[in-house]
Amino acid sequence: MSRFFTTGSDSESESSLSGDEQVAKPVGGNFGKQPLILSEDEEDTKRVVRSAKDKRFEELTNLIKTIRNAMKIRDVTKCLEEFELLGKAYGKAKSIVDKEGVPRFYIRILADLEDYLNELWEDKEGKKKMNKNNAKALSTLRQKIRKYNRDYETQITSYRQNPEQSADEDDDKKSDDSEGSSSMDEDDDDGMGAAAFLKKKEGAGEGRGKFLKKMEDEDEEEEDSDDDEDWGSSDSESDSESDEDEGKYTSLASRFLKKTGTEEDKRVLEKKREEKAKKKQDRKSKKYEDDEDDNESGEWEKVKGGVPLVKEKPKMFAKGTEINHAVVVKKLNEILQARGKKGTDRAAQIDLLQLLVGIAAENNLGVPIDVKIKFNIVASLYDYNPNLATYMKPEMWQKCLDCIDELMNILFEQPNIFIGENIAEDSENLSNNEQPLRVRGCILTLVERMDEEFTKIMQNTDPHSQEYVDHLKDEARVCKIIDRVQTYLQDKGTTEEVCRVYLRCILHTYYKFDYKAHQRQQGPAGDSKSEQDQAENEAEDSAVQMERLCKFIYARDRTDRIRTCAILCHIYHHALHDRWYQARDLMLMSHLQDNIQHADPPVQILYNRTMVQLGICAFRQGMIKDAHNALLDIQSSGRAKELLGQGLLMRSMQERNQEQEKIEKRRQVPFHMHINLELLECVYLVSAMLLEIPYMAAHEFDARRRMISKQFHHQLRVGERQPLLGPPESMREHVVAASKAMKMGDWKTCHRFIVNEKMNGKVWDLFPEADKVRSMLVRKIQEESLRTYLFTYSSVYDSISMEILSDMFELDLPTVHSIISKMIINEELMASLDQPTQTVVMHRTEPTSQQNLALQLAEKLGSLVENNERVFDQKQGIYGGYFRDQKDGYRKNEGGYMRRGGYRQQERQSNY
């Protein structure tokens, strides 16, 4: 029998609990006469009988406490782990929840956790500072909680309309050693539940910052400390009440039965609660008054939370210090030691360096020390953005340009100063004028980095905004600085440095069309009204400049990369200015197409841009086949935008992760250097049309006809699938409609579809000499339409007059004669020319349509028989006198006929 139902004195219970010795107890005593009195030790170690509901809800409450603690310290990984455990624990308590209903504290944690995760998700800066595990856990937990909360949407909505503070958060706010035990004792005595002591929330609204630490935590700590002072009285009261209660019960079991409190007990309890709330309010008001008094007595200001990272600025110089070269260099090194360290204020570091320049100038320490400090100022400006993907702010960019200009002015004014990155710091000479002044630093490296920063600024600016235009105006200043460095290095630089600066100059020149040179080629220039126009007319042509710079690199450069870039830029510039033969010859002589796949991606992008420009140049010159061949690789891939470095295509994360995407974005070409993709596609499709339509007409019944352009055939199929054919709108629809007209030999309709106002605005007006291109197109359409007409209708005619053909296609007679003669020579047209009558006499060697169908049927039957023989041979090995030879396929014993090869070969019988 349990010890709770036995009788005995305090001493007996103590001895039984201590376990030192066993004393026999009388069985069955008189419970009515002698009440059972328990000692304090036995009360501490008594068993607590709890229901299944209490056990399950306590497990849920403990998990919720852990989740809230993790929320306070922003540990999302811990929140995810505990949330998964909470879901499992809730599943175990499912039977109890079905009877009792979903507990209010469970709905509260679901709502609070979802709000907390949404708050973290919207905080972009906070997400960037998260470590990898927390960021991953945030995404996973956010998806899980949103999916999980759908089942409790109505309860969460009703809770948010009428929020209520739950027991689990109240336990967080109160410490375990505060008034919990006395309250429980009073609760047991008065017969009230634990919910009667919960603090009600004063306001129903919940702000976004409800999860952050607040000032009330300090108030509650003070409240807890005040409550601790009343421990003695509450303990004594509970002890006395416990002693008085011992006489009320006839047995120990009746003591633990559920009690119902009276109305008087409830009023007393309510009165105590009101007094407690009043005391708390008085303490708060007193604290706020004290704070106001402190603010009145002295100036206080709120600062950001967290431990401040204290970094003392290096003091410039103590009072009375003699300023000389050694002291300034030491201070410079002291400032530079903080460079790159965590928490260093980069803007303040730049200001200190500029202040140091002023101090050096005030004390007349000489120009070399200014040069050394300015080199470090420019380097600090470049380091202002630690991330490679970010670009310089406008004010920093202007400071950088100004500082480099000042540096170049000093170097030109002081030719006795030698600078170089191979000069060691120990061998620098900053003060001794009797010896050559030497400063460690490389002006070319600074200028190359400046050029890269300019490219990044252009890459990260919206190309359709005025800001892009404003930044683009800085290119003239950048080019001017590069020219000055070029002039400086031609006198004092090495051959390698001269090649590098020449390449920078080439990269800013090759893609620009020289309108002044173009106008001079068209005719003599008139009298210029302004001096600026006269100066521009007298300036060096870009073609002459490119020729001079590139030839120097071809002769002197020792690195393949600089020479390759120079060749590609030179070809691009030739093609841009319609120097087709020079560009083609330079490309063929360089043999770049053989090993360009081994080059780095930026050089490959430059190669693709050069090939595209070469194809467009060939098209302008009327070299349709060359244009098609040059554009085929880029256009057939379907990734012209990506291959030219003008944007990224949408891909899945499996093909390209975020890091690769960032790297590819840094390789993009600025918008002002882009090639019009619609113009490129139009040139390619028109070239394919002029080649493909005559070929299709010549091989209409050829089953083995090959496709010249897959993309062009795809566009034709798309046009044929359209159920309703309206007037063409897009550029592709115009080309498809023109192709259909050319197929019928109707060159005028084809011309109207290719050359019209809409196509002029989209494509043809973008060329420098648009009228010349349009006239070339008309001529090509007439010639290819004539060829198509002869291929299509040659079987209809016995003979046709060349004068009639000349009138039909509006071509002069020699041109018609030339076209037909070439077709006859190439055996494309089975005919002969009758010179006296100027007619074309057809030879009727072409099979009729019925004969063509019969030939196609015979060819297909032959291939079917051959396939059947192969299948049968695989099963039985020999069929029809043929057997399988491992090398040449099917051979016959007699005659040595080879079935696969299509030719006869006599072999000796012994071979078989």
Contact 832, 824 (CB under 8 A): yes
Residues sharing a CB contact under 8 Å with residue 676, sequence separation 6 or more, in sequence order: 766
pLDDT of 708-723, one tens digit each? 888 888 888 888 888 8
Mean pLDDT of 471-488: 92
Instruction: Count CB atoms within 10 A of the CB of residue 74.
Output: 17
pLDDT at position 451 is 92
Instruction: Please report, to the nearest 10 degrees, the dihedral formed by the alpha carbons of residues 444, 445, 447, 451 taken in order.
Output: 130
How far apart CA 417 and CA 415 sit, in angstroms, is 5
Q: Is 219 helix (H, G, I), strand (E, B) or coil?
A: helix
Query: What percent of the chain has a predicted confidence (pLDDT) above 70?
Result: 72
DSSP state of 866: H
**Beta bridge partners of residue 439, listed in sequence order:** 419
Instruction: Count CB atoms within 10 A of the CB of residue 751.
Output: 19
How far apart CA 108 and CA 152 sit, in angstroms, is 11
Contact 500, 562 (CB under 8 A): yes
**Beta bridge partners of residue 831, listed in sequence order:** 842
Structure-token pair, residue 761? 């605005």
Q: What confidence tier does 56 reach under pLDDT thresholds 50, 70, 90? A: confident
Structure-token pair, residue 483? 């020219």
User: Backbone phi, then psi, for 842, in 5-degree steps?
Assistant: -80, 145
Please state, in angstroms and as integers, the Cα–Cα distance from residue 810 to each residue in 784, 815, 816, following that order: 13, 10, 10
pLDDT of 415-435, one tens digit each? 888 888 888 877 777 777 777
Residues sharing a CB contact under 8 Å with residue 259, sequence separation 6 or more, in sequence order: 191
Nearest residue to 431 via CA among 328, 514, 541, 316:
328
How far apart CA 135 and CA 133 sit, in angstroms, is 6
Structure-token pair, residue 910? 């012994």
Amino acid code (one letter) for 818: S
pLDDT at position 163 is 77
Give the chain's radius of gyration (CA, Å): 46
How far apart CA 291 and CA 214 sit, in angstroms, is 16
- What totals of helices (H) and strands (E) does the chain contain, helices first? 42, 8
DSSP state of 130: S
Q: What confidence tier does 247 reach under pLDDT thresholds 50, 70, 90? A: very low
Whether 11 has a pLDDT exceeding 90, the answer reads: no
Place of tokens 């070969």: 905
pLDDT of 322-344, one tens digit each? 778 888 888 888 888 877 777 77
Mean pLDDT of 591-617: 92
- β-strands 417-420, 437-440 pairing: parallel
DSSP state of 432: -
Structure-token pair, residue 464? 């359709």
How far apart CA 68 and CA 113 sit, in angstroms, is 9
Residue 755's Cβ-side half-sphere holds a number of Cα atoms within 13 Å equal to 15
Whether 637 has a pLDDT exceeding 60, the answer reads: yes
pLDDT of 268-289, one tens digit each? 788 788 888 877 777 766 665 5
Most confident of 298-307, 521-530, 713-722, 899-908: 713-722
Place of tokens 């455990």: 85
Please state, in angstroms and as integers, the Cα–Cα distance from residue 367 to each residue in 272, 427, 429, 638, 744, following that order: 83, 17, 11, 58, 80
How many residues make up the chain in this entry?
Answer: 912
Instruction: Please report, to the nearest 10 degrees, the dihedral formed by the alpha carbons of residues 251, 255, 258, 264 taken in order.
Output: 120
pLDDT at position 437 is 83
Q: What confidence tier does 43 reach under pLDDT thresholds 50, 70, 90? A: very low
pLDDT of 147-201, one tens digit each? 898 888 888 888 888 875 544 444 444 444 444 344 444 444 443 333 433 333 3
pLDDT at position 551 is 93
Roughly what angle, to the nearest 10 degrees, separates helices 601-620 and 677-698?
A: 60
Whether 230 has a pLDDT exceeding 80, the answer reads: no
Amino acid code (one letter) for 37: I
H or E segment to which residue 439 belongs: strand 437-440
Whether 569 has a pLDDT exceeding 90, the answer reads: yes
pLDDT of 14-36, one tens digit each? 434 344 444 444 444 444 444 44
How far apart CA 82 and CA 79 sit, in angstroms, is 5
Instruction: Please report, to the nearest 10 degrees, the dihedral formed by the alpha carbons of residues 614, 616, 621, 622 taken in order.
Output: 120
pLDDT of 367-388, one tens digit each? 888 888 888 888 888 888 777 7
Residue 820 C-alpha from the chain's centroid:
57
CA angle 813, 817, 823 (to 5 degrees): 150
Instruction: Please report, to the nearest 10 degrees, the dihedral formed by the alpha carbons of residues 569, 571, 573, 576 taken in order.
Output: -130
Whether 616 has a pLDDT exceeding 60, the answer reads: yes
Work out the end-to-end distance of the chain between its first and last CA atoms, rounded to an integer number of angstroms: 106
Structure-token pair, residue 349? 């570091």
Contact 766, 786 (CB under 8 A): no
How far apart CA 295 and CA 739 sit, in angstroms, is 86
Q: Of residues 565 and 357, which shows the higher confidence score?
A: 565
pLDDT of 754-793, one tens digit each? 998 888 888 898 998 889 999 999 999 999 999 999 888 8
Residue 105 C-alpha from the chain's centroid:
42
Residues sharing a CB contact under 8 Å with residue 58, sequence separation 6 or more, in sequence order: 50
pLDDT of 508-518, one tens digit each? 999 998 888 77
Roughly what angle, to the nearest 10 degrees, separates helices 367-382 and 346-362?
A: 170
Residues sharing a CB contact under 8 Å with residue 702, sequence separation 6 or more, in sequence order: none
pLDDT of 100-146, one tens digit each? 888 888 899 999 999 999 888 888 888 888 888 888 889 899 889 98
Mean pLDDT of 218-230: 46
Contact 582, 574 (CB under 8 A): yes
Nearest residue to 543 via CA among 565, 576, 502:
576
Q: Is 841 helix (H, G, I), strand (E, B) or coil?
A: strand
Residues sharing a CB contact under 8 Å with residue 372, sequence separation 6 or more, in sequence order: 329, 332, 428, 430, 439, 440, 441
Q: Of residues 688 and 293, which shows the higher confidence score?
A: 688
Residues sharing a CB contact under 8 Å with residue 880, sequence separation 6 or more, in sequence order: 869
Instruction: Count CB atoms within 10 A of the CB of residue 545.
Output: 16
Structure-token pair, residue 56? 């399950």
